Amino acid sequence: MFIIGERINGMYKDVHKALVEHKDDVIIDLAKKQVAAGAQALDINVGPASEDPMKDMQWLVEVAQKATDARLCIDTTKADVMEKCLSLCKQRPVINSTTGQKEKLDVLMPLAKKYNASIIGLTMTKSGIPQDAHSRIEIATQIIMAAQEQGVDMEDLYIDAVILPVNVAQPHAKEVLDTIRQIKVLCDPSPKTVLGLSNVSQGTPNRPLINRTYLTMAVAAGLDAAIVDPMDKELMDEMITAELLMEKAIYCDSYIDAYKKK
Ligand code: THG
């Protein structure tokens, strides 16, 4: 599993406060701890309350790169902010994200090519996120075609079927799993799949339990990458176990330690 750490996000109160007060120690600490816990990339998002996303995103990118050599996953809907941040990345960035809308694809796929970046494509359009897997797959197909036209490798395309909170959008959860399974048989080589896992439990009382249960189900459906809090040890151990049971690793008694050493 390609683990993208979700914690450097202005949706979190500590990160929002660090942004307002320009406290780089908070961000450095979150970057280091997430990488130590198994993150291969760090999601960077200023959150909805940022007054100056261009300035705040650049600051987060710079501070995160002071702390680690991990890849950065640039999480912004603004094309000018995206390009500026891509140009600052020392490692191959991940573009988070495009949707299936033509106007977005026309801008973001060429950026993926220009910066040799991976790119996340959300199965949504101007009209929102469809409920059923069939409509999600239709949008995924548009994204795949745009990647192929621009010469972006399927290895670098991550389709995100977009999971919503189970308390308000319960029927979506199983449709997202069906979408993940179907994407794997759409074309050969197939694109990869990713989820912003923590969305599933927003507003519910037992978030960690819902997160790790759904992650296990997504592993069984073939999920390749996840935006998660890697400092949630139970979540990580359950993910490693699910991958073992899917034969993504060879069994040994110390398989959890073996995963962490690799
Ligand atoms: N797909 C892609 N990118 C994404 C998402 C996605 N990026 C953002 C998000 N969804 C994934 N990251 C988060 C980060 C935080 C939370 C959920 C998803 C979260 N935060 C607490 C909350 O809002 O309750 C913060 C509260 C606190 O301060 O503790 O839940 O789906 N491609």
> Cα separation of 142 and 187, whole Å?
13
**pLDDT on residue 113:** 98
- Render pLDDT for 229-244 as a digit per residue (tens, 0 to 9): 999 999 999 999 999 9
pTM of the predicted protein model = 0.98
Pairing of strands 2-5, 41-44: parallel
Dihedral class, residue 22 (left if φ above 0, else alpha if ψ from -120 to 50, else beta) = left
Tokens of 109: 């796929």
User: What's the mean per-residue pLDDT of the chain?
Assistant: 97
Q: Is the peptide bond between 191 and the residue preceding it cis, with omega within 30 degrees of 0?
A: no
Output the residue whose Cα is nearest ligand 1's atom 24: 202
Angle at 5 between CA 171 and CA 215, to 5 degrees: 35
Cβ of 96 closer than 6 Å to ligand 1, yes or no, is yes
Residue 208: closest CA among 180, 184, 246, 237: 237
How many angstroms separate the alpha carbon of residue 96 from the centre of ligand 1? 13
Q: What is the pLDDT of residue 34?
A: 98
**Is the Cβ–Cβ distance between 10 and 47 less than 8 Å?**
yes
152: Cβ contacts below 8 Å, ≥ 6 apart:
109, 112, 113, 119
Q: Is the pLDDT of residue 37 over 90?
A: yes
Nearest CA among 198, 184, 236 for reference residue 75 = 198
Which residue, chain included where needed, has tokens 């795949």? 144
pLDDT score at 111: 98
Question: What pLDDT band is residue 262 in, cutting at 50, 70 and 90?
Answer: confident
Q: Which atom of ligand 1 is nearest to the CA of 207?
A: 30
Helix runs in the chain, H state only? 13-21, 24-36, 53-67, 79-88, 102-114, 133-150, 172-183, 207-221, 233-245, 255-261
Q: What is the pLDDT of residues 124-169, one digit of tens each?
A: 999 999 999 999 999 999 999 999 999 999 999 999 999 999 999 9
DSSP character string of 89-120? -SSPPEEEEE-S-HHHHHHHHHHHHHTT-EEE
The residue nearest atom 27 of ligand 1, judged by CA position, is 12
The response to whether residue 150 sits with its C-beta less than 6 Å from ligand 1 reads no
What are the tens digits of pLDDT across the range 50-82? 999 999 999 999 999 999 999 999 999 999 999
Tell me, what DSSP letter sits at residue 249? S
User: With pLDDT > 70 as the criterion, what percentage of the chain qualifies?
Assistant: 100
Q: Write down how long the chain is.
A: 262
